Amino acid sequence: MNVVVSPEALLAEAAPTIAESVRLGMPQLSLSGLSESWLLKDLGHRHWMLLARLAGRPVPDFRDVDGAPVYAAFCALSVKDADFAALGENDRLTIVSDISRVSRTQSASRHRLSVAGKPVGEVELVSAFVRRANGGGNHSVARVALDAFPPPATPRMGGLAALAADLRAGRRARHFGFDLHAAEIRTSAAFEIDPCPAQDFNGAGFLYFSSFVGFIDRAEWHFDGRRAARAVTLARDVFFHGNIDPGERLRVRWLAARRGEGRLVHRCLLERAGDGARLAEAFTLRAV
């Protein structure tokens, strides 16, 4: 008996894995090795394409029942075991990426990085499908579930998605060695940033998740950078809570930091300058 398999089914069977190599040059590099900004943008695109494959679609064009566009907004990212300083011009970086659903609205992708077979880091991204409620701006974003996907692989969230949920609910006492239940000091060191629409927002009109990381690095440079001009990321966790519209300013609070044995660890809070709404919380370990 001949069985006819649709192109969509073939795409779904081939998903969800992408393995590619990139020859590193100036766009992919920074003063300290692999550019984290370039890497996150590239992995964000891979996550988006993997979602399309997971849904059995050739391109990631998702819409709700009313035909309004639906986007994958990042809820959390984690960089671990990073050795970005070891990478340089003309190295060939191999990226192996896979994705799975962790709830009705969330998906998690994992990206393993290597050069000549040697691991140089791993990045995990968790996203949720969102739409702008009632045609509003980036303050009125709401989560939405889509039916085009296979059911979650496990009945309960795990890994980074579970960690993000615990932090938002206040169920975790410490992270990166910081006391999360300590009262926030509103007099903590802070400075404001005026994001540039042409540079910091993506094509969907959101302040892009990689821009948040760039602002964290600017805060580090502002408060501590002259002590280590070539600091490089070893590990980083960022948890996203909200967004801003073009023309709005944000504030980066330098909540806590400790330094020793060639390492700098810090915790930052990003908030909307206009109303103080929390946008993201970040924990970073850097080699200095």
Render pLDDT for 132-148 as a digit per residue (tens, 0 to 9).
Answer: 877 668 887 888 888 77
* Residue where one domain finishes, among candidates 113, 132, 148: 148
Are 35 and 124 contained in the same domain? yes
Quote the pLDDT of residue 169: 87
Rounded Cα gap, residues 112 and 186, in angstroms: 38
Are 16 and 139 contained in the same domain? yes
Backbone angles phi, psi at 280, to 5 degrees: -165, 155
End-to-end CA distance of the chain: 65
- Look up residue 70 and give its amino acid: V
The pair of structure tokens assigned to 125 is 């991204």
Are 18 and 102 contained in the same domain? yes
Are 13 and 125 contained in the same domain? yes
Quote the pLDDT of residue 12: 41
Quote the pLDDT of residue 8: 41
Quote the pLDDT of residue 74: 95
Q: Where are the alpha helices (DSSP H) in the chain?
A: 7-14, 36-54, 159-169, 197-200, 209-223
Are residues 285 and 263 in contact, defined by beta-carbon separation less than 8 angstroms?
yes
Are 143 and 212 contained in the same domain? no
- The boundaries of the domain holding residue 126 are 8-148
Rounded Cα gap, residues 80 and 60, in angstroms: 28
Rounded Cα gap, residues 248 and 277, in angstroms: 12
Are 115 and 227 contained in the same domain? no
**Residues lower than pLDDT 50 in the chain:** 1-15, 155-156
Tell me how many domains the chain contains: 2
Are residues 102 and 152 in contact, defined by beta-carbon separation less than 8 angstroms?
yes
Quote the pLDDT of residue 224: 82
Are 197 and 281 contained in the same domain? yes
* Residue where one domain finishes, among candidates 115, 131, 148: 148
CATH for 229:
3.10.129.10
In a domain, 188, yes or no: yes
In a domain, 160, yes or no: no
In a domain, 159, yes or no: no
Q: Give the model confidence (pLDDT) of 85-124 as tens digits.
A: 999 999 999 999 999 988 888 999 999 999 999 999 999 9
Are 141 and 202 contained in the same domain? no
* Residue where one domain finishes, among candidates 113, 133, 148: 148
